């Protein structure tokens, strides 16, 4: 029986395989394909178009012409991407360095902030904060977008921060890691 690509890549570095097995959705020794693809959004050198296509591929396993935020796995894919960019990467960075996880990134609060970052409809008239959630930025009042329109929205200046893990952490920390904001969003 031939080895899988992941087995071949990780055969000489078992700790790398162990690390990948910590990705959300990985279980029973199998690495989550969706989580691995989403990790690639941060690691690959592809352009925003390539990264947006990966996210859409994770959203649409049935190859439809449009994406419905309620019928697709939009919430799960977005929250997995945000989890990888925050808790997953920070915990693993801290594990291999002397860096300590900042207090505000405790897992329970960060998971709530990730949900808030996805669903928030808060607006800030001062221009100091951007607390509009990704769903509102991408879908606006719509429930469904064509794949072409979703691709355009994800690549727009309003949303392309989604392709950069450090920008996600900054946005989360600056705008959503506050009990007052989490209460106001309702999470």
Residue 12 lies in a domain: no
Any domain includes 128: yes
Tell the residue number behind the tokens 């920070």, with chain if given.
Answer: 90
Structural domain contains residue 25? no
Q: What is the pTM of this model?
A: 0.88
The number of domains in the chain is: 1
Note whether residue 7 is domain-resident.
no
Q: Hey, which bits of 27-159 come out as E strands?
A: 66-68, 144-146
Does 109 reside within a domain? yes
27 domain residue, yes or no: no
Domain that holds residue 157: 32-185
Torsion angle defined by CA atoms of residues 42, 48, 51 and 56, in that order, rounded to the nearest 10 degrees: 140
pLDDT tens across 121-161, in order? 987 766 666 889 999 999 999 999 999 999 999 999 999 99
- Judge whether 137 lies within some domain: yes
- Interatomic CA distance for residues 168 and 85, integer angstroms: 7
**Cβ contact 52:40 at 8 Å:** no
């Amino acid at each position: 029986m031939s080895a899988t690509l992941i087995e071949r890549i990780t055969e000489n570095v078992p700790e790398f395989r162990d690390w990948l097995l910590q990705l959300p959705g990985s279980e029973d020794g199998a690495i989550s394909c969706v989580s691995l693809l989403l990790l690639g959004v941060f690691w690959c050198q592809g352009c925003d178009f390539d990264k947006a296509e990966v996210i859409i591929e994770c959203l649409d396993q049935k190859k439809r012409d449009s994406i419905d935020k309620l019928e697709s796995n939009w919430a799960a894919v977005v929250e997995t991407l945000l989890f990888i960019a925050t808790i997953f990467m920070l915990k693993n960075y801290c594990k291999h360095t002397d860096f300590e996880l900042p207090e505000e990134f405790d897992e329970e609060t960060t998971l709530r902030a990730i949900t808030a970052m996805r669903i928030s409809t808060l607006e800030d008239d001062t221009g100091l904060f951007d607390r509009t959630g990704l769903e509102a930025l991408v879908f606006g009042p719509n429930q469904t977008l064509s794949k072409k329109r979703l691709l355009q929205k994800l690549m727009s200046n309003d949303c392309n921060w989604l392709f950069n893990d450090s920008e996600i952490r900054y946005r989360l920390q600056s705008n959503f890691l506050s009990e007052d904001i989490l209460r106001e969003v309702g999470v």
